[in-house]
Structure 1
Amino acid sequence: MMPPHGAPVEELLVARFRSHARRLFWSAVVLIGVCGATAYFYDNLPSGFEDWMLLAAAAAAIVLLVIVPFLIWLSRSYTITTRRVIVRDGLGARSRRELSHTRGYSIGVRRGIIQRMWGAGTITLSNGIDAPLRLVNVPSVNLVHEVLADQIEVNQILAHRDAQSGQA
């Protein structure tokens, strides 16, 4: 349903998602392996080593190989609204990039072999003026592509209609 002529169009959330979580697979394997190795070697270490050394090494491995990759994955989010696409990125210093549907842009989809196996892909949005906006490892990439194309079409129709009603 289209809003009436001249009525302000409310910005609604269409989708909010993160990149595909498959990149956390190796972190999960490391977590399971570190927990298993720590349980096996606790109170069973060769002479010269103490249990606190084992626990410190396990904690360091978990922080570096499990928690840091998870926080990096968690720090990037993609939001599609009825007016724009928003990419938020960063752990400490946050950056934010936006691209308006009204201005129009081209949508490019790139899918590698592994991405195809998981139903993911990388979407590149380019309006020809700004630097392209990349949505990396998007889950259900075909669905997101269709949503973006529909949002561009609706916003172009609304912008054209408002421009025509303003001239009359």
Structure 2
Amino acid sequence: MGLPKNSLTEDEKIVLEFHPHWSTLVATIFWAIVAVVVAGVVIFFIPDGDSQTLIRLIVAAVGVVAVIVVGLLPFLRWVTTSYTLTNRRLVMRHGILSRSGRDIPLTRVNDVSFSHGLIERVLGTGTLVVESGGENGQLVLKKIPRVEHTQSQLYRLVEELTDGDGIRP
């Protein structure tokens, strides 16, 4: 679910397309598994009786709702969040039912930096900070995959647009 090709301007080319790093889904997967296990254990230990089937169905329904809330919705949020770097702009899009986005023309980018801790470095993720001249100023993007590569590509494109002399055409 990246940027549609018909959204590109003339002579605009996609350089990078990505979602937040997969590590953002670790907690989601963990809690979805916990919800399934808890529901399964509760269903297993429901004592025999007249309403055993009804109680099991209710517990199963609650378990399904829990999996949707803690598992499916965060996964859909991850899938529908995309970042696209073109040779002209940085494009962010997100939203499951309703979509919103932000485009930053590379000619307005003043500074690009990244940071990552030890675990983030091992996983190949980090935080990308893009400073732009505009009313929104600083944009902080967390859990960006290959953050160093993304930062260098973004910086390279900004330099190409400014012709390396700091003066924007």
Above 0.5 in TM-score? yes
- Distance, in Å, in 1 between the alignment partners of 2:108 and 2:32 is 46
Is this contact kept in 2: 1:24–1:69, CA < 8 A? Answer: yes
Greater gyration radius:
1
Q: Output aligned runs, 1:109-124, within 5 Å.
A: 109-124=114-129
Post-superposition, which runs of at least 4 consecutive aligned residues in structure 1 deviate over 4 A?
A: 36-44, 158-163
Task: Go from structure 1 to structure 2 and tell me whether the alpha carbon gap of 1:31 and 1:14 turns closer, same or farther (over 3 Å shift).
Answer: same
1:158 to 1:94, Cα distance in 2 relative to 1, 3 A:
farther
How many angstroms apart in 1 are the aligned matches of 2:62 and 2:18?
Answer: 34
* Structure 1 equivalent of residue 108 of structure 2: 103
1:82 corresponds to 2:87: yes
* Percent identical: 25
Question: AA paired with 1:57?
Answer: V
Return 23-32 or 56-65, whichever deviates more: 23-32
Residues 162 and 72 of structure 1, relative CA distance in 2, 3 Å threshold: closer
Paired with 1:38 and 1:109, the residues of 2 have a C-alpha distance of 42
Counterpart mapping for 1:63-78 below 5 A: 63-78=68-83
CA contact (8 A) 1:78 1:135 kept: no
CA contact (8 A) 1:84 1:98 kept: yes
Whole-angstrom CA distance in 1 between matches of 2:22 and 2:126? 12
Once the two structures are TM-superposed, the CA of residue 133 in structure 1 deviates from its matched residue by 2.2
Unpaired stretches in structure 1, ≥5 consecutive residues: 1-7, 164-168
Q: Equivalents in 1 of 2:42, 2:155: separation in Å?
A: 55
Over 3 Å counting, the alpha-carbon distance change for 1:104 and 1:54 in structure 2 is closer
- How far is the alpha carbon of 1:74 from its aligned partner? 2.1
Cα distance, 1:112–1:158 mapped onto 2, change above 3 Å: closer
The residue that corresponds to 1:15 in the other structure is 16
- Aligned positions, number: 156
In 1, the alpha carbon distance for the partners of 2:108 and 2:40 equals 58
Question: Who is 1:144 aligned against?
Answer: 150
Q: 1:40 to 1:117 in 2, by over 3 A?
A: same
Pairwise CA distance, 1:40: 5.4
TM-score normalised by the chain length of structure 2: 0.77
Preserved contact between residue 102 and residue 159 of structure 1 (Cα < 8 Å):
no
Q: What is the CA–CA distance in structure 2 between the aligned matches of 1:135 and 1:10, rounded to whole Å? A: 27
